[in-house]
Amino acid sequence: MVMVLTGLWYASVCAVAALLVGWWTRPLYAGPLVLAGLFCLYFFRDPEREIPSGPVAVAPADGRIVAVVRQADGSTRISTFLSLFDVHVNRSPIAGTILKREYRPGKFHIASREIASAQNEQNVLVIEGEGSQVVVKQIAGILARRIVCYKRPGEQVDRGERIGLIQFGSRVDLILGPEWEITVAAGQRVRAGADIVARKRSS
């Protein structure tokens, strides 16, 4: 199991604090810090995924799909809610080039609510590849206050490649044009990089 380095750092801090508390007081008092460290290791896990091939778009995040919305411009938004217990590493839905990266400040509504897509703090990536442009929005939630994006404009990404991380509960929106046929529905659970959410329509 691969681990995000941030998780190792948090777990190390908890371990040191637990040792100090256990040394200066009672070992029992160090228990909550030990549990916090173990949770950090669990939260920041980064499992390898088998990436599907073909003209498909994969889920950018682990979690439960809370909305599949046809928008006024003909595009479709797929919104995935990540609970505290989901893997929080985000992956690119397609192979291509990062055209744009934009940080948008905002509020911190509960990430599962529809209002979060428009009003919450978010990082927006536009990716061009496979004959289309797609948009990935990393959206902060009521607990998630730190969005990490690994990619910059001009960089190449592979389908399923790691592109970022949102800490402690969040939401990821994927916006696809009308050239994509959506293959998922609200309520379905998906795994980033592994599960197909759309297929390219034949031209």
Task: Please give the positions annotated as active site.
Answer: 170
DSSP structure string for 163-184: EEEE-SSEEEEEEE-TTEEE--
Cα–Cα separations (whole angstroms), residue 117 to 125, 126, 196: 14, 16, 22
Q: What distance in Å separates the CA atoms of residue 80 and residue 66, rounded to the nearest whole number?
A: 6
Alpha helices in 102-155 (DSSP H): 116-119
* Residue in 189, 176, 195, 186 with CA at minimum distance from that of residue 66: 186
**H or E stretch at 136:** strand 132-140
Structure-block tokens of residue 35: 């549990």
Count of alpha carbons within 13 Å of 145, Cβ hemisphere only?
Answer: 2
